[in-house]
A and B are shown apart, each in its own frame.
Chain A
């Protein structure tokens, strides 16, 4: 493996991430209120979510299924018994004065995932400490434009929405790795239908623990916690800002104080939000309103069986089944939608490897340019396979076909009709090709002579010349035959 990124010359960076992800459910974790986004304040609550006197929680079965699914997808061990505990603290958006979470006995522990970092030759394996189930809090709205000067508004629509907290080991060594981890985790959770993980909706939120230590040191440095890094861009920026802050402190002979930090994007700096000197005393204890969560082995196996094929497995299969390189297979499995698309097109086609090349060269470039996902375009796997078939059969040249990818992505449609409409059918008219070939040979006699002399290196060049003279519509196979005949030694 090539060396990992070293963001700082003097210090090794140590990062661990805590991700909170909303689960894809219809109702809340402990109440039957609907999970919805964007409604006016307190329109999606049940007395349970409001913490009314006398209410009691009842666990949503789907949450457990999705939690197990996430655990299996990240190679965690699902525990046969886990326990819901109360985390006690006061805040207006925490209606009961405690959050029901899992503490000593979480749903799952001890997993890992492999991340791909730009510039690394091999993936990095990042350990997962634990996954547990907990309820989300509501929202406090401090914005004076909404809440006025004197007060804050409290909206409990989000209170009780089911969350998984996924905690990584401090295995990440750079902001880039942290971002890669988050991308991989988010994709995996979407892949497994665990969560929509839409960051803008607050469905995928990240806190980071960061510390520095001298290169070669084995003891961990004092860490700070960065709260609520709610976009991939912010994650990297904020971590870099915090690295700079901590490094400056240490360089100046100072020490890092344990604190919760807040990132200010406008100034690209981190600021101490709260010191942790008086360690929070959450008074965790098992919630007596719930009983232990028991998950039978058979239920875990049922979830495992229902799990879609995960990216790593799919990649391996693409390599063996479609003879793709590891690199290509990895790119094609970056999202489930992309992998599904590729596989559908590959199945339609007689040349899966060629389909992969088209995907990687043309389709991904278009997606990147448009900043969209494959399933948000008009392109269908059948259309792509058809287009490739037209090329393979010599009906259209690759050069003519490539611009059609953009058109199909934008507007959809039938490639064959498109080729006809645009007059892109390949020229196989021998007379026309013969004269174009003669022209090309005449224009480059030295190259022609070389070839005649037994050195075929210039053949491709002459082919390009013929293509140019036919606006790229010449059937390359025919051209090659004609040139070969004309330049026979």
Chain B
């Protein structure tokens, strides 16, 4: 085995450079850990052949002194909705059973260009719809800190894979908190970049105007490397931002002095677990001790964010998921007529949560309701966007809890969809406003990790990474790891 399972990508790179380990060894170890962790349900598909070949190529590049990036040879995992040429992509849905992608997604292409080795695909809520990773045809993913609890969702598998030390870096997608919330619950760093910073070409769409791919890592510095690998303009995505990508790693100077951190009063009002809020306040205090300033700010439309989010996200989803019809790919139900084929394929292929959201979205867009719901939501979205613009006039970044509570138990919220939706309360606004958000571990409540969320101005990922890194230089929460109790004895 290759040393410390919790070694960071930065540390592994040093090992690789020093010849202490090969990429092939790292990749084999990651694959072995993934297999041993089957009970965690973090992965839905491993790709050993491709990973081995990629690792060998990386080792050859290293031998030639021809490295592609700091991630060259590092094993990574991707969420099962990121398209990779020639590999399955099911979005944890029955309806995409057997689908093998005939084209390369941009994020996968960029990871290959960076030399990173994709070892497998991670579990998720079906079509990224969920906050607990309980809505997956592959079964639940479990929280490495307590396997009776969810890792959060929808990118639960990616968060769990990183928290469990299977891979140092994984990628997920965040539509309303699907990276930040599981990062919080699993005690890792997770970042949703600004809308348009990472290409969505090859990201299976949930809600097109909100979706972003982003990284999970155990440290802010690994997160910076991972983001750098996938960020940048892509002509294949009309919503991609043309602005140049800054050197994120270079921004990590440990200095936060003079930065003004806004504390939105609406996010610290009632609703959150006081113990969680306490951890977050203490983290902010630590940043103050490091030289940052704080001030209260207001995001007055916060209480409308969840409603706005669910109207927009489900409307877009109802249309985005119309292509799953059993005609060109995926699973088709037995049927005698065309109408029957559509209804049965979609009814058997989609899980309950997906159907619920398709129904809601269809309703919201349907004749007579469009103005009352969809158009209204789009107007409130404007107000939410303005809230942040206003707030950022008085601060450089905003700090909040990532989630109102620590990881909940599997099954605890499945009976009440609305209750589940409310667990995204602190995260959805960033998606609606298109701004970057990052969650990093800032303590524990009852042995379960708590996340601090940092929100920044559009395209200011560097500041969030810098602050997160500065915090990690002064604290050791990120160095605490779960005991691999999930591993099967071999």
Direct contact of A and B (CB under 8 A): yes
What residues of chain A have their CB less than 8 Å away from a CB belonging to chain B? 47, 50-59, 86, 88, 90, 92, 95-98, 152, 154, 156, 279, 281, 283-285, 287-291
List A contacts of B101 (CB < 8 A): 52-54
* Complex: chain A residue closest to B365, CB-CB: A283
Residues of A with C-beta under 8 A to B338: 92, 152
A300 to chain B, nearest CB (A): 22
Given contacts A53-B89, A55-B103, contact A283 B205 (CB under 8 A): no
Output the least CB separation between B202 and chain A (Å).
5
Task: Please give me the residue from chain A that is nearest to B322 by CB atom.
Answer: A97
Contacts of B367 in A (CB 8 A): 279, 281, 283
Known: A88-B365, A285-B319. A53 touches B328 (CB 8 A): no
Q: Is the CB of A88 within 8 A of B319?
A: yes
B195 to chain A, nearest CB (A): 10
The listed residue (B99, B201, B235, B370) touching A55 by CB distance below 8 A is B201
A54, A96, A283: the one contacting B83 at CB < 8 Å is A54
Tell yes or no: B1 within 8 A of A by CB.
no
Complex contact A51–B374 (CB within 8 A): no
Q: How far is the CA of A9 from the CA of B154 in the complex (A)?
A: 68
**CB–CB B203/A54 < 8 A:** yes
User: 1/0 per position for B207-222, CB-CB distance to A under 8 A?
Assistant: 1110000000000000
Residue of A nearest to B105 (CB): A54
Q: Decide if B475 is an interface residue (CB 8 Å cutoff).
A: no
Given A53-B91, A285-B365, A58:B235 Cβ within 8 A: yes
CB <8 Å contact, B202 and A98: no
Most B CB within 10 A of own CB, among A50, A53, A288: A53
B204 located at the interface, meaning its Cβ lies under 8 Å from any Cβ of chain A in the complex:
yes
| B328 A98 Cβ-Cβ under 8 A | no
Are A97 and B203 in contact, with the CB atoms below 8 A? no
Interface flags, B76-106, vs A, CB<8A=1, else 0: 0000011100000101000010010111010
CA distance A281 to B367 in the complex (A): 6
Structural contact, A54 and B322, CB atoms closer than 8 A: no
Q: Is B236 among interface residues, defined by CB-CB distance under 8 A?
A: yes
What are 9 A-B pairs with beta-carbon distances under 8 A? A52-B329, A53-B101, A54-B200, A56-B200, A88-B319, A90-B342, A152-B338, A156-B328, A284-B365
Max chain B C-beta neighbours (<10 A), residue from A90, A287, A290: A90
CB distance from A100 to the nearest CB of B (A): 11
Q: Are A289 and B238 in contact (CB under 8 A)?
A: yes
The reply to whether B208 and A51 form a contact with Cβ atoms under 8 Å apart is no
**Proximity bits, B343-376, A CB within 8 Å = 1, else 0:** 0000000000000000000100111001000100
**Chain B residues closer than 8 Å to A154, beta-carbon distance:** 327-328
State the CA gap A97–B99 with chains docked (Å). 18
The listed residue with most A CB atoms (<10 A of its CB), out of B203, B239, B315, B322, is: B322
Find out whether the CB atom of A92 lies under 8 angstroms from the CB atom of B327.
Answer: yes
Q: Does B323 contact A (CB under 8 A)?
A: yes
Residues on B with C-beta less than 8 A from A53 are 81, 83, 89, 91, 96, 99, 101, 204-205, 323, 329
Residue of A nearest to B326 (CB): A92
- The CA-CA distance from A2 to B395 in the complex, in Å, is 75
Q: How far, in whole Å, are A92 and B102 apart by their CA atoms in the complex?
A: 20
Contacts A97-B323, A288-B208 supplied; 15 other A-B pairs, CB < 8 Å? A51-B328, A53-B81, A53-B204, A54-B89, A54-B204, A56-B237, A58-B236, A92-B325, A96-B322, A98-B319, A156-B328, A281-B367, A285-B370, A288-B207, A291-B239
Roughly how many angstroms separate A279 CA and B367 CA in the complex, as a whole number? 9
Query: CB within 8 A of B238: which of A86, A92, A291?
Result: A291
Q: Given B96, B99, B366, which contacts A283 in the complex, CB threshold below 8 Å?
A: B366
User: A88 vs B81: C-alpha distance in the bound complex, in angstroms?
Assistant: 23
* Interface residue SS majority, chain B: loop
> Are A289 and B323 in contact (CB-based, < 8 A)?
no
What CA separation (Å) do A59 and B96 show in the bound complex? 28
Q: Which of B232-264 contact A (CB under 8 A)?
A: 235-239
Is B316 interfacial (CB 8 A cutoff)?
yes
| Contact between A54 and B370, CB atoms less than 8 A apart | no
Q: Which residues of B contact A90 (CB under 8 A)?
A: 322, 325, 342
Dominant secondary structure of chain A at its interface with chain B: loop
Q: Do A96 and B323 touch (CB < 8 A)?
A: yes
Which residues on A sit within 8 Å (CB–CB) of B237?
56, 58
Cβ contacts under 8 Å, B329 to chain A: 52-53
A54 touches B202 (CB 8 A): yes
Complex: chain A residue closest to B199, CB-CB: A56
- Are A47 and B319 in touch, CB under 8 angstroms? no
* Least CB distance, A48 to chain B, in whole angstroms: 9
Q: In whole angstroms, what is the CA distance A390 to B235 when docked? A: 62
Q: Are B201 and A54 closer than 8 Å at their CB atoms?
A: yes
Contact between chains at B323 and A285 (CB < 8 Å): no
Q: A57: shortest Cβ distance to chain B, in Å?
A: 7
Taking a contact as CB atoms under 8 Å apart, the answer to whether A56 and B201 are in contact is yes
Residue A95 contacts which of B81, B102, B328 (CB distance < 8 angstroms)? B328
| B366 and A56 within 8 A (CB) | no
- Of residues A51, A284, A288, which shows the largest number of chain B Cβ atoms within 10 Å of its Cβ? A288
The listed residue with most B CB atoms (<10 A of its CB), out of A152, A156, A283, is A283
What distance in Å separates the Cβ of B347 from its nearest Cβ neighbour in chain A? Answer: 13
* Interfacial chain B residues near A156, Cβ < 8 Å: 328
What's the minimum C-beta distance from B150 to chain A, rounded to whole angstroms? Answer: 25
CB distance from A155 to the nearest CB of B (A): 12
- On whether the beta carbons of B235 and A289 are closer than 8 Å, the reply is no
In the complex, the chain B residue whose C-beta lies closest to that of A281 is: B367
- List the A side residues contacting B316 at CB < 8 Å: 285, 288
List A contacts of B204 (CB < 8 A): 53-54
Q: A51-B323, A86-B319 are in contact. Are A290 and B96 (CB under 8 A)?
A: no
Q: Is the CB of A283 within 8 A of B319?
A: yes
For B315, give the chain A residue with the smallest CB separation: A285
Nearest residue, chain B, Cβ from A96: B323
Distance in angstroms from A344 CB to nearest chain B CB is: 43
**From B91, B238, B325, contact of A97 by CB (8 A):** B325
B103, B319, B370: the one within 8 Å of A52 (CB): B103
B96-128 residues at the A interface, CB under 8 angstroms: 96, 99, 101-103, 105
Name the 4 nearest CB pairs between A and B, nearest first. A97-B322, A283-B365, A288-B209, A288-B208
Interface residues of B in 67-83 (CB under 8 A from A): 81-83
- Determine if A52 and B102 form an interchain contact, defined as CB atoms under 8 angstroms apart: yes
A47 touches B322 (CB 8 A): no
Q: What distance in Å separates the Cβ of A271 from its nearest Cβ neighbour in chain B? A: 21
Query: Across the interface, which residues of B come within 8 angstroms of A54, CB to CB?
Result: 81-83, 89, 101, 105, 200-205
- Nearest A-chain residue to B83, judged by Cβ: A54
Residues from chain A with a CB closer than 8 A to the CB of B318 are 88, 283
A56 & B328 in contact (Cβ 8 Å cutoff)? no
Check if A50 sits within 8 Å of B200, measured CB to CB: no
A289 touches B208 (CB 8 A): yes
A56 with B322: CB separation less than 8 A: no
Contacts of A281 in B (CB 8 A): 366-367
Q: What is the CB-to-nearest-CB distance from A137 to chain B, in angstroms, rounded to a whole number?
A: 12
Report the bound CA distance from A96 to B316 in whole Å.
13
A225–chain B nearest beta-carbon distance, Å: 18
Q: Please tell me if the beta carbons of B201 and A97 are within 8 angstroms of each other in the complex.
A: no
Chain A residues whose CB sits within 8 angstroms of the CB of B328 once the complex forms: 50-52, 95, 154, 156
- Residues of A contacting B315 in the complex (Cβ-Cβ under 8 angstroms): 285
CB distance from B7 to the nearest CB of A (A): 32
Residues of B within 8 A of A279 (CB): 367
CA A462 to CA B221, docked complex, whole Å: 108
From B89, B102, B325, name the one whose CB has the most chain A CB atoms within 10 angstroms. B325
When chains A and B are docked, how far (Å) is the Cα of A156 from the Cα of B208?
Answer: 24
Rounded to whole Å, the gap between the CB of A404 and the closest CB of chain B is 58
Point out the residues of chain A lying under 8 angstroms from B103, CB to CB: 47, 52, 55
Interface mask (B309-323 → A, CB under 8 Å = 1, otherwise 0) = 000000110110111
B residues near A50, Cβ cutoff 8 Å: 328
Q: Could you tell me the distance in whole angstroms from the C-beta of B134 to the nearest C-beta in chain A?
A: 22
Chain A residues in 8 Å Cβ range of B201: 54-56
* Cα(A142)–Cα(B27), bound, Å: 51
A93 to B: closest C-beta gap in Å: 9
| Distance (whole angstroms) from the CB of B176 to the closest CB of chain A | 15
Whole-angstrom CA separation of A47 from B362 in the bound complex: 26
